[in-house]
Structures are given as structure tokens and as C-alpha cells.
Amino acid sequence: MRYSQRAAFLNQVKQAKSAGALSRIYWVAVSQDYERAQIIEELLQLITPGREHVQRWTEPDLVALQNHLQAPNLFGDEPVAVVEGSEGIVKADAAQFERLFPHDFGILIFGAASKSSLLTAVEAKGVVLDLLVEKSWDREKRIQQTLDAFVRAHGKTIASNALTQLMDSQDLDEGILTREVEKLLSYTGDRLHIGVEDVHAVCPSHRSYAVWQTAEKVVWEGQGRLLEAHFHALVPALRSQLQLGLKIATLLAENASPEEWSEKLPKVFPKTLEKRTRDAHRLGASYFMRGLEIIFDIELQSRTGSQNLGALLDFFHCALYSRV
């Protein structure tokens, strides 16, 4: 059984626990170490709240795993094994690990940062959470929901614009964002609500230069700095945003049906599309068409002798906004 959403995976575990039908094998595949560790902790809290008889390995150890899973403690608690680094299990060893899969006694949890030869066998006999191919907007939404739940677990609420501002000010890293939320919880003291002014007060921006986010800010908001060192990455990112804008502006002009919107923009997150539609209506199709012409021009110049890439980016900036 495979899940691609954190909430659905944990909900399955809750329901199985209530029904007395917990799986004996779990696989948590998340590329980010902090996020994977947090999900495994939530899983353990559901399976064995007191953390009784839990043994952890930072890499697979066949003999130690076998000994642990076959040895109940003095109080009769079932052994639980957490094996990180499971992406390191090679195909030649997969069959040996598969023979360790518990049937009636013990629980085995694998954590992996990438694909493994053992995954298919786990999926056939256990429960898998696979976030390795998670879309960027799904990951952002998941982290946002996790942070909101974290605040609520501390008896407070956070304004939606405050949470958005916080996430905009930091790299998309759940560990970093959680620490920022902890600062906000401490800063607000006895107050039960966190507002955007609190974020501005104690959460200064620490976001590293991100090409995609910069392209979005430049095209849609008239903000952002175009750095010469990132010229060759910025050009396709800017073109992509301009093409998206032209597509939305064209759909608006044609008064397209919902089906046409879905067909033309199948991969755009709904909330993002709602915002981009407002922006496209404000900016107009000619803005995006002009931007695409300028992008073509500066890219051509960069390939035919112009060495001052910074000047080309400055030209793009000025020419794009000249008639907005």
C-alpha cells in the first residue's frame, strides 16, 4: 500500500491502530533528513506512544536487526526497529532483508532518502509513504499545514498572511521554518494569536538566492534582483513565467471554459493560479508578449558576442517595466 501524502499515510496508521490491524512494515521515503525524521517520530507516536523497546540504526545491519526483532523485552512489549539509510540496501541483499519482515510480532520501519531495491517488497506487504516525487507546491502546502498544526498544538493560532510571510522569508526547509515558529511562540508570550507584524519583528529574511522565486518576483511583482552570475539559469526561468502569464492572459481574453483552463494549465496549483489570474488581468497580454521578445533579444545577444550579461539583465528589467 503506497501513499504520496503525509496526512493520508498517518491517517491510515491511526485507523489501523483503532481497528487493531497495524501493519508490521513501514517505509518512509523523503529526501530531506529533517522532514523524514519528523514523520518517523509521528509514526512512532501513533504505534508506540511510550517508545517502549524501540531500537534505531543509522544504516541497515542485518544481524542486529534480526536479533532485535526476535527478542521481546521483560515486559512483553513488541520490538520496534527504525532503520535509516535504507536507500543503501542493494538488490543483492534485498532478499535477506525481506526474510526479516515481521509477520506476527514486531514492527520494522525503514527510512530512505532515495529509491531502493527493497521498496517493491515493502509495498506488497506493508505501508509506504513516498514523497520522493512530491511536487514543489504540494511540499509547500504540506509544510504550511504542518507549521499551522504545530502552532495550534501550542494553544495558539497564526494568521494566514503571517504564515505566508514567514515561508516567503525563508528557504523551504521544514527544520528552519519550525525554529522560526518556535521563536514566534516565545516572542508572543501570553498572546494567543500570531500576526504578520510578529513575523516582521523577529523573523528577518534568510532566503538564499533562488532563481525560480526571483523570476516570479520580477515578472509578476516588479521586484527582485537579477544577478549576472545566474544569467543562464534566470533566462529560462523568466521565459517560463512570461509564457505562463501569456497563456493565462489569452485564456482570459478568450473567456475560456473551465475545461480549457484545466487542459492548458494542468500543473498549476489552484491558489497560485487564482493569484496569477488576477495579476495577468492587471498586466495584460502585451506585457508578457513584450517580455518574451526582450528575453529572446538578450539571449541572442549573449550568444553572439555580448560579454556584459549584467547589462543585458538590466536592459530586460528596464524594458519590461517601461510601459506597465
Task: Please report the pLDDT score of residue 183 as a whole number.
Answer: 95
Flag whether pLDDT at 106 surpasses 90. no
What are the grid coordinates assigned to 31, written together? 529526501
Cα–Cα distance for residue pair 224/12, rounded to 1 Å: 43
Helix (H, G, I), strand (E, B) or coil at 71: coil
Flag whether pLDDT at 167 surpasses 80. yes
Going through 79-210 in order, the beta strands assigned E by DSSP cover: 80-83, 107-112, 127-130, 157-158, 193-194
- pLDDT tens sequence across 225-238: 888 878 888 898 89
Locus of grid cell 543503501: 88
What percentage of residues in the chain have a pLDDT greater than 90? 49
Locus of grid cell 518574451: 292
pTM over 0.75: no
Of 260, 248, 254, the C-alpha closest to 285 is: 248
Task: Please report the pLDDT score of residue 323 as a whole number.
Answer: 61
**Please, what are the domains in the chain?**
2-130 (3.40.50.300), 136-202 (1.10.8.60), 211-321 (1.20.272.10)
Flag whether pLDDT at 11 surpasses 70. yes
Q: Report which of residues 51 and 158 the model is more confident about.
A: 158
Q: How far is CA 137 from CA 29, 62, 140, 267, in A?
A: 18, 38, 5, 10
- Average pLDDT on 34-52 reads 86
Task: Please report the pLDDT score of residue 52 as a whole number.
Answer: 62
Locus of grid cell 504564515: 163
What are the grid coordinates assigned to 271, written together? 491558489
**Partners of residue 27 on adjacent β-strands:** 110, 128
Q: Report which of residues 27 and 68 the model is more confident about.
A: 27
One-letter amino acid at 230 equals H
- Average pLDDT on 164-191 reads 91
- pLDDT tens sequence across 236-288: 889 999 999 999 999 999 999 988 898 888 778 778 888 999 999 999 999 99
Task: Please report the pLDDT score of residue 247 as a whole number.
Answer: 94
Task: Please report the pLDDT score of residue 61 as a whole number.
Answer: 83
- Average pLDDT on 58-75 reads 77
Flag whether pLDDT at 75 surpasses 70. no
Task: Please report the pLDDT score of residue 202 as a whole number.
Answer: 92
Q: Would you state the torsion angle of the CA atoms of residues 96, 97, 103, 109, taken in this order, to the nearest 10 degrees?
A: 180
Flag whether pLDDT at 73 surpasses 80. no
Band of residue 74 on the pLDDT scale cut at 50, 70, 90: low
Q: Report which of residues 296 and 68 the model is more confident about.
A: 296
Q: Which range has the worst mean pLDDT, 72-86, 270-284, 302-316?
A: 72-86
Q: Is 223 exposed, middle or buried (0-12, 13-18, 19+ CB in 10 A)?
A: exposed
Task: Please report the pLDDT score of residue 303 as a whole number.
Answer: 80
Task: Please report the pLDDT score of residue 51 as a whole number.
Answer: 60
Task: Please report the pLDDT score of residue 259 as a whole number.
Answer: 84
Helix (H, G, I), strand (E, B) or coil at 82: strand
Flag whether pLDDT at 306 surpasses 80. no
- Average pLDDT on 133-158 reads 91
Flag whether pLDDT at 299 surpasses 70. yes
- Average pLDDT on 200-227 reads 84
- Average pLDDT on 104-126 reads 90
Flag whether pLDDT at 177 surpasses 70. yes
Q: DSSP secondary-structure letter at 77?
A: P
Band of residue 188 on the pLDDT scale cut at 50, 70, 90: very high
For the chain, what is the mean pLDDT? Answer: 88
